[in-house]
Amino acid sequence: EYQHRAAYHRVLDSGAAKVPLGLKRKGLRIVVTGGAGFVGSHLVDRLIQRGDSVIVVDNFFTGRKENVMHHFGNPRFELIRHDVVEPILLEVDQIYHLACPASPVHYKFNPVKTIKTNVVGTLNMLGLAKRVGARFLLTSTSEVYGDPLQHPQVETYWGNVNPIGVRSCYDEGKRTAETLTMDYHRGAGVEVRIARIFNTYGPRMCIDDGRVVSNFVAQALRKEPMTVYGDGKQTRSFQYVSDLVEGLMRLMGGEHVGPFNIGNPGEFTMLELAQVVKDSIDPNAKIEFRPNTEDDPHKRKPDITRAKELLGWEPKVSLRNGLPLMVTDFRQRIFGDQKEGSS
Ligand code: NAD
Ligand code: UDP
Ligand code: UDP
């Protein structure tokens, strides 16, 4: 059975999966945990478009039905309200494991639940992968590098994480999830992939999730001052969601376990980001300084050499080109001049 699946994956990896739908190759059966969330719902769109059958498993902590509602009625789409902390039995070929709150405001809301989701939730999905011989992809995070002492961050860097800080439920949770993933790979022969995702933005982000891009965009649209935490000189690298989804699909389809940094190396201070938002939305937008949060990483920028070389992937959408696409979606959702959830 295991051999059979490996062979099946090889056929798909060789590009045979790209045959036109008319030729009636049956698509893959794929679970996307967290598929009603921001990144997950965009991934689901691409998988459905490719001809796969997709099961979304989501407890709707931060996800919304509106993000996937346009697939209701499609026999290749299924939505299950389920918490990954509980076991589940499914028969699938691939598992994209995204379930986990991603914004600091959300993951700090109930830190113990965040740890359970990362540890027990990931364990359950790996147990499922082992039982059915599915390939498993973990969406880890640049946060595994903590407040990095190496810049830019390379996958071989082990990170600088505070194990007892307010962000640790997420950072250490994801680090443990990576460990579990590698141990199921080495110990049980599960085919695994690990992506370390850097800050990503785009349509369908929660409007009030407290992340910097969603905050600035919503504030500028509402004519409120943009809240810059600390001195605004800390940096982040912002990736548009379609680039991320492409990276995840290439990683899942490819031969390499990783971990791979998946992010846009364009690095911005928060003050520079505020300027880009200003230019895109409102030249008169004001900024307001607020105290910074605890353990805030000072800088972050991916080294994506490995993904370029081994996955043939690199981001295509710059911040200045991606931001307006998100602004359109936010404007519609905030001012309600059109149906929610569209992008
Ligand atoms: P999101 O909050 O929009 O999506 C997470 C989804 O998981 C939501 O739909 C939520 O309801 C669901 N979920 C949470 N806990 C669950 C549980 N216990 N059981 C079932 N479902 C659960 O966040 P996102 O930005 O789409 O992030 C998706 C993944 O990517 C996460 O694993 C996150 O850690 C990772 N990631 C995202 C970013 C980013 O910038 N967006 C950066 C690094 C890593
Ligand atoms: N699991 C699951 N679905 C499955 C198979 C396993 O949710 O199809 C869960 C199972 O309940 C367990 C975890 O995954 O909590 C790890 O499973 P594994 O078989 O690796 O370990 P064990 O059950 O022996 O502890
Ligand atoms: N930040 C900010 N204003 C906000 C929200 C966040 O200046 O309204 C800063 C925050 O202090 C951090 C950076 O933006 O330095 C990125 O924060 P975010 O929560 O988006 O992501 P993460 O810290 O997980 O990278």
pLDDT digits (tens, 9 = 90+) for 299-321: 999 999 999 999 999 999 999 99
More confident residue, 8 or 182: 182
pLDDT-derived band at 14 (thresholds 50, 70, 90) equals very low
Q: What is the arithmetic mean of pLDDT over 96-100?
A: 98
Question: For residue 303, how far is its CA from the centre of ligand 1 (angstroms)?
Answer: 23
Say if residue 14 is exposed, middle or buried (CB neighbours under 10 Å; 0-12, 13-18, 19+).
exposed
**What's the confidence (pLDDT) of residue 340?**
44
**What's the confidence (pLDDT) of residue 294?**
84
Which of 17-31, 93-107, 116-130, 257-271 is predicted least confidently? 17-31
More confident residue, 330 or 12: 330
- For tokens 């390379």, the residue is 154
Dihedral, CA atoms, 87, 88, 89, 94, nearest 10 degrees?
-110
Q: Please give the positions annotated as active site.
A: 170
**What's the confidence (pLDDT) of residue 295?**
84
In this predicted structure, the answer to whether residue 218 has a pLDDT above a threshold of 70 is: yes
**Residues recorded for the chain:** 343
Residue nearest to atom 1 of ligand 1 (CA): 37
Report the percentage of the chain scoring pLDDT > 70: 91
Residue type for 210, please?
Answer: G
More confident residue, 260 or 17: 260
Tokens for 264, please give them: 């846009």
Q: Which residues line ligand 2 (CB under 6 A)?
A: 87-89, 123-124, 127-128, 130-131
In this predicted structure, the answer to whether residue 341 has a pLDDT above a threshold of 80 is: no
* Residue among 95, 131, 184 whose CB has most ligand 2 atoms within 8 A, to mutate: 131
* Residue among 229, 237, 272 whose CB has most ligand 3 atoms within 8 A, to mutate: 229
**What's the confidence (pLDDT) of residue 17?**
46
Whether the CA torsion 293, 295, 300, 305 is positive or negative: it is negative
Phi then psi dihedrals of residue 268, to 5 deg? -130, 140
Q: Which ligand is nearest the CA of 184, by number?
A: 2
CB of 118 within 6 A of ligand 1: the answer is no
In whole numbers, what is the pLDDT of the chain averaged over residues? 92
Query: Do 37 and 98 meet the contact criterion of CB atoms below 8 Å apart?
Result: yes
CB of 224 within 6 A of ligand 3: the answer is no
Q: Which atom of ligand 3 is least distant from the CA of 142?
A: 25
CB of 229 within 6 A of ligand 3: the answer is yes
Query: Do 128 and 95 meet the contact criterion of CB atoms below 8 Å apart?
Result: yes
In 3D space, the residue among 3, 41, 25 whose CA is nearest the CA of residue 340 turns out to be 41
CB of 62 within 6 A of ligand 1: the answer is yes
In this predicted structure, the answer to whether residue 243 has a pLDDT above a threshold of 50 is: yes
Residue nearest to atom 11 of ligand 3 (CA): 229
CB of 293 within 6 A of ligand 3: the answer is yes
CB of 234 within 6 A of ligand 1: the answer is no
Query: Do 205 and 214 meet the contact criterion of CB atoms below 8 Å apart?
Result: yes
